[in-house]
Chain A
Amino acid sequence: MKFGVIVFPGSNCDHDAYHVISKHVGQPVEFIWHKQTDLSSYDAIIVPGGFSYGDYLRCGALAKFSPVMQSVKEFAAQGKFVFGICNGFQILCEAGLLPGALIRNRDLHFICDFVNLKVENQTTPYTSEVESGKILSIPIAHAEGNYVCDDATFQSLEENNQIVFRYCDENGEITDDANPNGARSNIAGICNLDRNVLGMMPHPERACEELLGSNDGRDIFRSLTKAISQISN
């Protein structure tokens, strides 16, 4: 099993993801410079957070033209795992691997804080190991995390159970007050139809150590690791 973490100019959560995979998931991991195009040796690709291309034009808009992204599309089409976190989620939306877009937060501020997440679909490769009913405490750090999509897209996301995480209060209630950024229907993370591509605004790689305030992020990485080993067997 091998993970790859893509590095764009301006990525800054790449080392966090690398650290978590190597130290806590305990699997081989390599950085992938965005000009690399051979992904054949990897089982899962992480598109990390940060400010790829300085967020110029729109968040993720220029990263989608990096040479590696064409390979990421082919990689995803083969059913392999592509996990976009924060800016990685924005890039996957821009690249058309996930529907919708992420725009400026409702209140315009950059928000760096822990949020509560409800797992809306526990049957994905990214959530199968989360204890049923558990509310995840995972930090967000973004100014453009306000998920938008048209009505038809939203309906199809709901019908196909592609909404994986929603912002909620500590009791798991989906409320306006628990919505940090104005995202449609409190959406914090979605997957594609085939469930192998997931994007989320919160940072599970920053929530894998008690010292950092939470280790709930480990549930997500443990789920993904299990899914990869099931495929490999």
Chain B
Amino acid sequence: MKAKVYVTLKPSVLDPQGKAIQHSVELLGFEKIQDVRQGKYFEIQLNDNLSESEATETATQIAKDVLANPVIEDFRVEVE
């Protein structure tokens, strides 16, 4: 069973890396770009005998305790 965790900066936190990426993208000629935000993506392989809810609970706890800093980041968990 695999959990996917997406960690993103809170909307209120400026993202200088996202801004730099946006600038480069615009230099390449891509138009109509409103905003670029950079985040992190984690894949966690869990034991197959876990139920979907157990896997979600475990991955959520890992995201909360380790992968995201609640002061500046939000996260989202998907299990498949």
Q: How far is the CB of B23 from chain A (nearest CB, A)?
A: 11
**Which residue of chain B is the closest to A102 with respect to CB atoms?**
B72
| Contact (Cβ within 8 A) B20 A101 | no
Among the 9-residue stretches A24-32, A104-112, A116-124, the one with 4 or more Cβ atoms under 8 Å from chain B is A104-112
Name the prevailing secondary structure of the A interface residues.
loop
| Contact (Cβ within 8 A) A106 B16 | yes
Given A57-B66, A61-B66, answer yes or no on A148-B16 (Cβ-Cβ < 8 Å).
no
- Kindly state the separation between the CA atoms of A9 and B9 in the bound complex, as whole angstroms: 27
Total interface residues in chain A, CB < 8 Å: 20
Given A57-B66, A61-B66, answer yes or no on A104-B17 (Cβ-Cβ < 8 Å).
yes
- The number of residue pairs between A and B whose CB atoms lie closer than 8 Å in the complex comes to 36
Answer whether residue A210 sits at the interface, using C-beta atoms and an 8 A cutoff: no
* Contact residue among A58, A65, A107 (Cβ-Cβ distance under 8 Å from B69): A58
Given A103-B72, A108-B20, A148-B72, answer yes or no on A182-B14 (Cβ-Cβ < 8 Å).
yes
| Contact (Cβ within 8 A) A149 B71 | yes
- Residues of chain B in range 54-76 having any CB-CB distance to chain A below 8 Å: 66-67, 69, 71-72
Given A57-B66, A61-B66, answer yes or no on A148-B17 (Cβ-Cβ < 8 Å).
no
- Kindly state the separation between the CA atoms of A65 and B71 in the bound complex, as whole angstroms: 17
Q: How far is the CB of B75 from chain A (nearest CB, A)?
A: 13
Answer whether residue A129 sits at the interface, using C-beta atoms and an 8 A cutoff: no
Q: Could you say which residues of chain A place their CB within 8 Å of the CB of B16?
A: 104-108, 146, 182
Answer whether residue B13 sits at the interface, using C-beta atoms and an 8 A cutoff: yes
Q: Could you say which residues of chain B place their CB within 8 Å of the CB of A65?
A: 66
Binary contact track A198-229/B, C-beta < 8 Å → 1, others 0: 00000000000000000000000000000000
Binary contact track B16-43/A, C-beta < 8 Å → 1, others 0: 1100100000000000000000000000
Given A104-B16, A108-B17, A150-B12, answer yes or no on A61-B72 (Cβ-Cβ < 8 Å).
no
Answer whether residue A94 sits at the interface, using C-beta atoms and an 8 A cutoff: yes
* Contact residue among B17, B66, B67, B69 (Cβ-Cβ distance under 8 Å from A101): B69
Q: Could you say which residues of chain B place their CB within 8 Å of the CB of A93?
A: 71
| Contact (Cβ within 8 A) A148 B66 | no
**Which residue of chain B is the closest to A109 with respect to CB atoms?**
B16
- Kindly state the separation between the CA atoms of A42 and B27 in the bound complex, as whole angstroms: 55
Which residues of B does A touch, CB under 8 Å?
Answer: 9, 12-14, 16-17, 20, 66-67, 69, 71-72
Which residues of A does B touch, CB under 8 Å?
Answer: 57-58, 61, 65, 93-94, 99-101, 103-108, 146, 148-150, 182
The contact sample of 16 A-B pairs, CB cut-off 8 A, is A61-B66, A65-B66, A93-B71, A99-B71, A101-B69, A101-B72, A103-B72, A104-B16, A106-B14, A107-B16, A108-B16, A108-B17, A108-B20, A146-B16, A148-B14, A182-B14
Question: Would you list the 10 A-B pairs with minimal beta carbon distance, nearest first?
Answer: A101-B71, A101-B72, A104-B16, A108-B16, A106-B16, A101-B69, A108-B20, A148-B13, A104-B17, A58-B69
